[in-house]
């Protein structure tokens, strides 16, 4: 892999809603929806949704850290999730919809831990930040119809983003932030 290219993996509930904020940012080369953290190879969406695989819905971001550093990815990530919810994200409940940061190396682990600590100390949330920071496992791309869902099905995506509670949560917790 090119020395100016790295990979980050984040679980933040429904992967449909996690792609758009990262996609088309400067320095972001590719964002894939997929599955990680579980115990079976090449899982299907139906298998992951069954809750028996141990996999999370996640996104894999290929990025140039000289343009969009990992620290900025972390900042943007926190602004897409409810990091205080152990049971899933918004409308989507269960293990496969839980949040997690999957680090690729010790540097990412350290930066993720620092970022989580800063968020907890910021007082932005009254409850503890429970998003785990875990070693990366194999990442399996989701089925093609899940990739860039917000572009393929914009009306359904926007409706889901709002009705799931995610859009309102983001607005109420981050409206004064510099990041989108």
- For the ranges 37-46, 89-98, 144-153, 171-180, the lowest mean pLDDT is seen at 171-180
Q: Using CA atoms, how far apart are residues 49 and 43, in angstroms rounded to an integer?
A: 10
Residue 177 pLDDT greater than 70, yes or no: no
CA angle 119, 150, 129 (to 5 degrees): 15
Domains of the chain: 6-174 (3.30.1060.10)
pLDDT given at position 4: 87
Q: pTM of this prediction?
A: 0.93
pLDDT digits (tens, 9 = 90+) for 2-50: 678 999 999 999 999 999 999 989 999 999 999 999 999 999 999 998 8
Question: Which of the residues are catalytic?
Answer: 14
pLDDT digits (tens, 9 = 90+) for 79-124: 999 999 999 999 999 999 999 999 999 999 999 999 999 999 999 9
* DSSP H helical ranges for the chain: 15-22, 45-49, 70-78, 106-122, 149-152, 154-163, 166-174
Provide the 8-state DSSP code for 160. H
């Amino acid at each position: 892999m090119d020395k100016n290219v790295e990979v980050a993996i984040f679980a933040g509930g429904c992967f449909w809603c996690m792609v758009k904020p990262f996609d088309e940012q400067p320095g972001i080369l590719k964002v894939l929806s997929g599955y990680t953290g579980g115990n079976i190879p090449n899982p299907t969406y139906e298998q992951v949704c069954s809750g028996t695989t141990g996999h999370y819905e996640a996104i894999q971001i290929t990025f140039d850290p000289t343009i969009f550093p990992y620290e900025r990815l972390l900042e943007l990530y926190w602004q897409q999730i409810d990091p205080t919810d152990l049971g899933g994200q918004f409308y989507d409940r269960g293990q496969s919809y839980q949040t997690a940061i999957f680090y690729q190396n010790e540097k990412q682990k350290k930066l993720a831990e620092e970022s989580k600590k800063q968020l907890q100390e910021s007082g932005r949330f009254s409850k503890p930040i429970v998003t785990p920071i875990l070693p990366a496992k194999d990442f399996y791309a989701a089925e093609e119809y899940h990739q860039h869902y917000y572009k393929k099905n914009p009306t359904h995506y926007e409706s889901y983003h709002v009705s799931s509670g995610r859009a309102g949560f983001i607005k109420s917790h981050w409206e004064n932030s510099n990041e989108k």
